[in-house]
A and B are shown apart, each in its own frame.
Chain A
Amino acid sequence: MQPSIRDLIKKNKSKSSSVNITERVMPIILLLMASFSILVTIAIVFTLLRETIMFFTVVPIWDFLTGTEWFPFFGNDPSYGIWPLVSGTFTIAAIAMIVAVPLGLSSAIYLSEYASEKKRKIIKPILEVLAGVPTVVYGLFALTFVTPLLQVFIPSLPIFNALSPGIVVGIMIIPQVTSLSQEAMNAVPQAMRDGALALGATRLEVALKIVIPGSFSGIVSSLVLALSRAIGETMIVATAAGSTPRLGFNPTESIQTMTAYIVQVSMGDATFGSTIYYSIYAVGMMLFLFTLLMNIIASYFARKYREVY
């Protein structure tokens, strides 16, 4: 007589303690994996903090935070005032936002309020490709195409300038602005649109008076995230913006951003333990804090709009 499945199962049950062990061990292993991401954050903060503190033992923190000159390579008289780098970073970010906000939001409105499903299906993948172009390729594009193009209109524009990479960073973040804003606009209930349309409102009026106010915090969140990306963008500015730390807002001059400075040092041969070596951590810390702040603001707004619908 063949053994019944029931008996087989019972037999397996009585001898298999391995199942039990797996059941107990796996959640712990997975928990450890999940906790690993926290460890990464701690490691980032700790690393930046430790080396930044080393930096501040040489350069007073006050000089760093208030100084208006950034000349780390001046052999015996270097100056480490962060403001020129901050100013360079925000020059780029400002130009990028000037490009990305109107274009990105307009596309979002078009995709969410005007485009047919068919058009959306064509446009969205193209935007995804635009978002997937590596920044180093954008950098090459800025340096060898956008800058010469701009020089046609502004003959005095130097090869390295803030304008060209600023514009290209703006182009790079357009897809992000578009897709996140469109997501927020989609969350506005169709019934609200229908109500307004039924009263005779045009699509434009619906977009401006119903959809944008209705998705406002979501849009703000997407813009802040885009700003954060513009601040953290490295390769485009490192390729096309030059390496001249400069205080002030002048898009037609060569500047240096925080990110580009870090790249410049890592490309050179700053000796391990030198002040210049530590300075990239102090700059990295500033960068980290700026983007963290942006992310916190963005998720605050994102939560707000998710609560509404």
Chain B
Amino acid sequence: MNEKRIVIDDKKINRRRMYNKTGQVLFFLSTVFGMIVLATLLVRIFTQGFDYLNWDFLTSYASRRPEDAGIKAAIAGTVWVMGITIPVSLVLGVGTALYLEEYAAKNKFTHFIELNLSNLAGVPSIVFGLLGLTVFVRTFAMGRSILAGGLTMSLLILPIIVVASKESIRSIPQEQYEAAYAMGATKWQIIKTVVLPAATPGILTGAILSLSRAVGETASLLMIGAMAFIAYLPDSIFSSFTVLPIQIFNWAGRPQAAFQSVAAAGSIVLLVILIAMNSVAIIIRNKYTKRY
């Protein structure tokens, strides 16, 4: 009996091999599926919007006629909003990360901040929009302005910037701290002269990636009331505004097929901007990582 048990059954082995092969093919096809979808999406958006994509499209305001419509105000709005979002989210995000990594004791309060940040990261952006609408637009009476939109967006991407900054700070080897401490540097001097210079590339990479999320973000700004029909450029942070994704959403919702093509043209511009931002982030990451 015992001998029989260890007799190797060729048929069985072949079957197991076949399952393995089938599994591998299926898993591979599933992986490829995502890429096919991405390719389809890009090709589709590109062919759909290509005819409307020209210099006039970039330099015209929105219009009731699809052939005259452009994204001048939307691009300006995006730039203005980022002008608020970048400094606010960077200062708050890096500050938070520095506190958590350099100063915070491992206590309940620190744990609570970390937990809170990870929960904030999971709050749907439209809920941030409701917050912005109530707090910035109404309570602080900023109105449906660039300022309100930029601040809302800062809060939205804050958790991502904190996480990226923390990781970047944590990757600085202990020896660097020791070197500075041994020279008689104080904590803050070390942060200024060792931690921040070393962490900057990582922070920058994370910041650009999260900002690219902000550039494509629609729902929360929709709540703030970023209007889609604006035929002027913003002149201050209190101006009303629109941004590229909202302009796209607005066009996509029109019944005429021509406007959907205009939306696709806008999407091409948006995607190009995002791909450019991501490329910059990847270049920074590749150039500066693994130096120690």
* Touch test A–B (CB under 8 Å): yes
Tell me if B19 is interfacial: C-beta within 8 Å of chain A: yes
Question: B120 within 8 Å of A by Cβ?
Answer: yes
A132 to B213, CA, bound (A): 7
Determine whether B82 belongs to the interface, using a CB cutoff of 8 Å to chain A: no
B249 engages A26 (CB within 8 Å): no
Query: Are the C-beta atoms of A202 and B19 separated by less than 8 Å?
Result: yes
Decide: A284 near B130, CB < 8 A? Known: A33-B99, A130-B34. Answer: yes
Q: How far is the CA of A27 from the CA of B100 in the complex (A)?
A: 10
B33 within 8 A of A: yes
> Which residues of A210-237 have CB atoms within 8 Å of chain B's CB atoms?
225, 228-229, 231-235
Stretch at the interface among B59-67, B196-204, B266-274: B266-274
- Are B127 and A44 in contact, with the CB atoms below 8 A? yes
The answer to the question of A73 belonging to the interface, with a C-beta cut-off of 8 Å to chain B, is no
Q: Report which of A126, A239, A298 forms a contact with B252, defined as CB distance below 8 A.
A: A239
Query: Are B118 and A295 touching (Cβ within 8 A)?
Result: yes
CB distance from B137 to the nearest CB of A (A): 10
Establish whether residues B117 and A37, one from each chain, have CB atoms under 8 Å apart when the complex forms: yes
Residue of B nearest to A103 (CB): B30
Q: Which residue, B35, B112, B249, has most C-beta atoms of chain A within 10 A?
A: B249
Chain A 232-280 interface residues, beta-carbon cutoff 8 Å to B: 232-235, 238-239, 259, 262-263, 266-267, 272, 280
**What is the CB-to-nearest-CB distance from A147 to chain B, in angstroms, rounded to a whole number?**
11
Interface membership of B169, Cβ < 8 A: no
- Is B217 positioned at the interface, with any CB of A under 8 Å from its CB? yes
Contacts of A86 in B (CB 8 A): none
Q: Which of B31, B162, B191 lies at the interface centre, i.e. has the most chain A CB atoms within 10 A of its CB?
A: B31
Mark interface residues in B11-31 (1 if CB within 8 Å of A CB, else 0): 000001101100110111011
The digit string for B26-65, where 1 denotes a CB below 8 A from any CB of A, is: 1110110111011011001100100000000000000000
Contacts of B159 in A (CB 8 A): 37
Question: Do the beta carbons of B24 and A204 come within 8 Å of each other?
Answer: yes
Cα–Cα, bound, A127→B35 (Å): 7
Q: Which residue on A lies nearest to B216, using beta carbons?
A: A134
From the candidates A33, A106, A144, A266, name the one contacting B96 in the complex (CB within 8 A).
Answer: A33
* B71 contacts partner chain A, Cβ-Cβ < 8 Å: no
Q: Quick check: A110 and B45 within 8 Å, CB to CB?
A: no
Known: A202-B17, A284-B127. A34 touches B34 (CB 8 A): no
Known: A34-B100, A127-B34, A231-B124. Is A292-B119 also a contact (CB below 8 A)? yes
State whether the Cβ of A205 lies closer than 8 Å to any Cβ in chain B.
yes
Q: For the complex, what is the distance from the CA of A280 to the CA of B222, rounded to whole Å?
A: 13
B223 at the interface (CB under 8 A from A): yes
Is there contact, CB below 8 Å, between B123 and A107?
no
Interface string of A163-207 (1 = CB under 8 A from B): 000000001001100100000000000000000000000111101
| Minimal beta-carbon separation of A88 from chain B (angstroms) | 15
Q: How many A-B residue pairs have CB under 8 A?
A: 259
Q: Which of B243-259 contact A (CB under 8 A)?
A: 245-246, 248-249, 252-253
Which of A62-70, A76-84, A90-98, A135-143 faces chain B?
Answer: A135-143
The verdict on B145 contacting chain A, using a C-beta distance below 8 Å, is no
Tell me, rounded to whole Å, the shortest Cβ–Cβ distance linking B69 to chain A.
15
Q: How far is the CA of A143 from the CA of B254 in the complex (A)?
A: 11
Decide yes or no whether B219 CB sits under 8 A from chain A.
yes
B residues less than 8 Å from A234 (CB atoms):
124-126, 218-219
How long is the Cα–Cα vector from A258 to B212 in the complex, in angstroms?
Answer: 26
| Cβ–Cβ contact B212 & A132, under 8 A | yes
Could you list 16 A-B pairs, sorted by A, with CB under 8 Å? A19-B189, A37-B117, A37-B120, A37-B158, A103-B34, A106-B26, A115-B31, A132-B216, A134-B274, A137-B267, A137-B270, A140-B260, A204-B24, A205-B16, A232-B126, A239-B253
Q: Apart from A30-B99, A114-B24, A130-B35, what 18 extra A-B contacts exist at CB < 8 Å?
A: A23-B186, A30-B98, A44-B127, A103-B33, A103-B34, A115-B31, A123-B35, A130-B37, A130-B38, A137-B45, A138-B41, A141-B44, A238-B219, A291-B127, A292-B119, A294-B122, A296-B119, A299-B118
Interface residue ranges, A against B (CB under 8 Å): 19, 22-23, 26-27, 29-31, 33-38, 40-41, 43-44, 47-48, 51, 102-103, 106-107, 109-111, 113-115, 123, 125-130, 132-141, 143-145, 171, 174-175, 178, 202-205, 207, 225, 228-229, 231-235, 238-239, 259, 262-263, 266-267, 272, 280-281, 284, 287-288, 291-292, 294-296, 298-299
